[in-house]
Chains A and B, each alone.
Chain A
Amino acid sequence: MLETLDAKAAPLRNKMLIDDLNVYYGAFHAIKNANLDVPDRRVMALIGPSGCGKSTFLRALNRMHDLTPGARVTGTVTLDGNDIYAPDIDPVTVRHRIGMVFQRPNPFPKSIFENVVYGPKIHGEHNAKRLVEIAEKSLRAAALWDEAKDRLHKSALELSGGQQQRLCIARVLAVEPEVILMDEPASALDPIATSKIEDLIGELKKDYTVIIVTHSMQQAARISDFTTFFLLGDLIEVGTTSDIFTRPKDKRTEDYITGRYG
């Protein structure tokens, strides 16, 4: 039922440390003093009712708020000991190491191949042979190779929704990040496509740290090792998934789990 820590999984260490994170949209205090340790090579789920700030929190982890005028972030977010918000850090390099998959698939209006190699090309890879290798490797890792290999140079927009989302995952994998942030990646997809994505996440965590925002508690219970509960901008509780769902420490967590509010 609930996934317990796999003895064969990588030893438990922290990949990212989040300290006193605050996010403001103008005067609105969206995330209040969040503290979180994110373990390496595990899946961490962020759950909570709509509007509680889970996506806002997620976007602070790869400096996406830099792109929003009026947004302000304070606190530290460290990746392997380095604060990504340090003044001398280029956000471009941050996003190279911390990738993001969005709620709605957003492939570029280019071919499947061009979508996947977009990242490597930007980061300086021009060798045609290596690009083809990267494309195949990423598409395989995203469980899309078989469906895509015969139409690599056709438009990505011809794919179904679920396929497009897996393409977006392949696109992120191609830049070889260490952490993958996922913002409700399956919420726009049908149940079959959703279960494919969930299987994929189970595979991805062998090599990557995954942080996934989900509005479905069942999904969190199915795929995550650790779960964090958010409410109205506050990080209420964090623990192993089985602890959170069977023995929550905070009453508010328990109320949410048992469905007292949505």
Chain B
Amino acid sequence: MVAARANKAHRDERIALVFLMGSSGIFVLAMATILLFLLVNGTKLFYADHVSPLAFLFGTEWDGDAGKFGAAPFIAGSIVATGLAILLGGPLGVAIGLFFSELAPKRVAAAFKPAIEVLVGIPSIVYGWIGLTLLVPFLATVTHTQGNGILAAGLVLSIMILPTVISLSEDALRVVPTALREGSAALGATRWETMSRVLIPAASSGLAVAVILGIARAIGETLAVQLVLGNAPVMPKSLLMSASALTSEIVMEMGEAPDGSPFRHALFSMALLLLLVAMGLIVLIRLALRKRT
């Protein structure tokens, strides 16, 4: 009787293992499928419509009717907006991560942390709406321009990436052993000196990961930037001029691009580019983490 029950348990174990491994395998299948589909459709512009990849990546003219598919305006827009976002949100996020790990008394942390969690949960379309109806008019008044453009996008993005950077920075800082804090204090360092000279360097690989993931989040953000960028498909000449990014262009034009047209293929190429950049960032993260050990 006992043996029979044991046999059943072992059989259950084997069945369970099949489902467990199968589910894990679905992740691999999913990623492979996405990569495959994007590769096939993202390169049609090159092999079916005979547009050169260089013309695509570096051409500054985007005019579907005239057959011009230079995506440089969007690439530039994405890069500058993301750069601005990380320039503002990166240090701010690390600073707040420092605040939570070193400075905040328990009660203050308990009050502030839920606020960060809510910030994560706000849908990007709502961020975009706030940007469009609050930030852009504000910028317009202050700078006497239309108000939209890369500055607006960068500001909105910097807020959106804050929770990611904050929580990863905090984790990276908490992991630094207390013995290092004590050693620094015992040598007569002030708290800020310990933070800047010992903690931040010691946590540097974790902080790098925080920043890279912030970049990944910013570069992939679609709706929020689409509402505040202005969406003119031109190279960004100033921070306060209407501009475009890869993500915003795709979401704007996909509805109007006929199936099988070079225009649609070009949009898929932009999507492929985004995917490759995202995966490149993953590799960068793994390198940063390897440097730690």
Contact = CB atoms under 8 A, between A and B. Distances in A.
Q: Does A associate with B in a complex?
A: yes
Interface of A: 62, 64, 67, 69, 92-96, 99-100, 102, 104, 106-110, 118-119, 122-123, 168, 171-172, 175
A67 B187 contact: no
Contact of B183 (A62, A93, A94, A168): A168
Interface stretch (B76-84, B151-159, B195-203, B237-245): B195-203
B184 A102 contact: no
Contacts of B186: 62, 64, 95, 99-100, 102, 172
B180 A108 contact: yes
Contact of B188 (A107, A110, A122): A122
B117 interface: no
4 closest A-B pairs by beta carbon, nearest first, are A106-B179, A96-B188, A100-B186, A95-B188
Given A67-B185, A118-B184, A122-B197, A109 B190 contact: no
B189 interface: yes
Interface of B: 105, 177, 179-190, 193, 197-198, 201-202
B182 to A, nearest CB: 7
15 contacts: A67-B182, A69-B105, A92-B190, A102-B182, A106-B177, A106-B179, A106-B183, A107-B183, A108-B180, A108-B198, A109-B180, A109-B201, A122-B193, A171-B183, A175-B187
Contacts of A118: 184, 187, 189, 197
Contacts of A119: 187-189
B187 A122 contact: yes
A171 B188 contact: no
Given A118-B197, A122-B197, A102 B185 contact: no
Given A92-B190, A122-B193, A122-B197, A106 B180 contact: yes
A108 B183 contact: yes
Most buried by A among B180, B182, B187, B198: B187
Most buried by B among A69, A99, A118, A172: A118
A99 B186 CA distance: 6
A122 B189 contact: yes
Nearest to A97: B188
Given A94-B188, A106-B180, A108-B184, 18 more contacts: A62-B186, A64-B182, A64-B186, A67-B181, A92-B188, A95-B187, A99-B186, A102-B182, A107-B183, A108-B202, A110-B201, A118-B187, A118-B197, A119-B188, A119-B189, A122-B187, A123-B188, A172-B187
Secondary structure at chain B's binding surface: helix, strand, loop or mixed?
helix
A92 B189 contact: yes
B195 to A, nearest CB: 12
Given A109-B201, A109-B202, A110-B201, A104 B179 contact: yes
Contacts of B177: 106
A171 B189 CA distance: 13
A5 B44 CA distance: 91
Contacts of A93: 188
Contacts of B181: 67
A177 to B, nearest CB: 9
Contact of A99 (B182, B184, B187, B189): B187
Nearest to B292: A109
Contacts of B187: 95, 99, 118-119, 122, 171-172, 175
A145 B198 CA distance: 24
Nearest to A110: B201
Contacts of A106: 177, 179-180, 182-183
Most buried by A among B177, B182, B183: B183
A108 B189 CA distance: 13
B105 to A, nearest CB: 8
A139 to B, nearest CB: 16
B179 A102 contact: yes
A109 B185 CA distance: 16
A69 B193 CA distance: 20
A102 B51 CA distance: 67
A93 B182 CA distance: 15
Contacts of A92: 188-190
Contacts of A95: 185-188
A192 to B, nearest CB: 23
Nearest to A94: B188
